[in-house]
Amino acid sequence: MINMTASIYLDYAATTPMDISVIEKMTDTMRNHYGNASSIHQYGRNSKKLLEHARKTVAEYINALPEEIIFTSGGTESDNTAILMGAHARSDRGRHIITTAVEHEAVLKPLKRLEAEGFEVTYLPVGITGELDFEHFKEAVRQDTILVSIMSVNNEVGTIFPIEKIGAFLSERDILFHTDAVQAFGPLKIDVKKAKIDLLSASAHKIYGPKGVGFLYKRKNIAIPSFMLGGNQERKQRAGTENLPAIVGFEQAVCHMKANRAQFNQHAVNLREQLIYELNHQAINFQINGNLSQQVPHIINLYFPNKLAEQLLIQLDLKQIAVSAGSACTAGSIKPSHVLQSMYGDQSDRLMHSIRVSMGAFTTEKDIKDFVKVLKEIV
């Protein structure tokens, strides 16, 4: 038996540990900058300076203008705002929306609400590799299509979607284009101008920042009403007092990621190669879900034919190893992964026998070796 003396965290796609520099920045802000950024006195003005500096930093990271960044409580609020408000703002032009069958629930559930209101939604399937057929996408676009919401990177399998091709195609047709970039923001270089994105959602806690803060990029001249009603914060685009410590922490996480992105990605590539090597070396029966050449390096989805994912999660957790069976936001659910369902069909054995392993900056080679040794005992 393997003697585990320390826990192993392999669920970075769900959330990342906060970087120490982020914690320090947030602590200083909570201690010394407690003024409301909407107040006109010096405490408020000092907080406003920090807020606008963070906005500028985040905007530059995606080649946006500062006034195009709306700070929110995270990816879910950003997705909901873009989809619900975007659809309602353009409902006089049509009521057809396009998305994929493998989106995060923060996209799928607002779309279900819109369907109940009379909108028509086309859910594009993905292929066995998890990739979207671009020609199939183009065929789905209609005269009454007003909104397209397609994720940049799938959160369960790690598939990268052709956002730039989609953006270029839609820009010629005046169709609102939203992308959930929560898993892409950080690992991938995003240029909203080059990709012709109208609306983009991102979250801090995927890039070693705090939970409960994110942003919605809204391209200049795109008019959608505010989702949150109340005060006039965020240029009247999002009511509610800004969470300044979290926003400053988000800014620091962006700076940290910008300086270390290439190093982080290479580290993830090395860990993924080591994981595959160790699995083969230990003669474990497994297969990879998706196409590694079209995926971000820190996420790998593994199929184990003879072991239910739920059993794997429990047994690994007892050994202090954390992995996932899909999206963390559906934790506790025993229903099959809708992502794998779209890839392999309703009856595939993979739906209930696959786990997601996601690695990050603090994952070590020893973590990978120990994880595979324990996995060998279990399977």
d(CA 358, CA 379): 19
CB 359 within 8 A of CB 8: no
- The closest of 185, 201, 192 to 168, measured between CA atoms, is 192
The active-site residue out of 329, 335, 345, 366 is 329
Distances (CA, A) of 83 to 106, 108, 215, 225, 310: 10, 10, 14, 11, 33
CB 171 within 8 A of CB 120: no
Cβ contacts of 86 within 8 Å, gap of 6 or more: 147, 176, 178, 198, 199, 224
3-state secondary structure 281-294: HCCCCCEEECCHHH
Task: Give the three-class secondary structure for 72.
Answer: strand
d(CA 76, CA 107): 8
Amino acid at 157: V
DSSP H stretches of helix in 101-243: 105-116, 134-140, 163-171, 233-236
Residue 329 is a catalytic residue: yes
Annotated active-site positions, please? Answer: 329
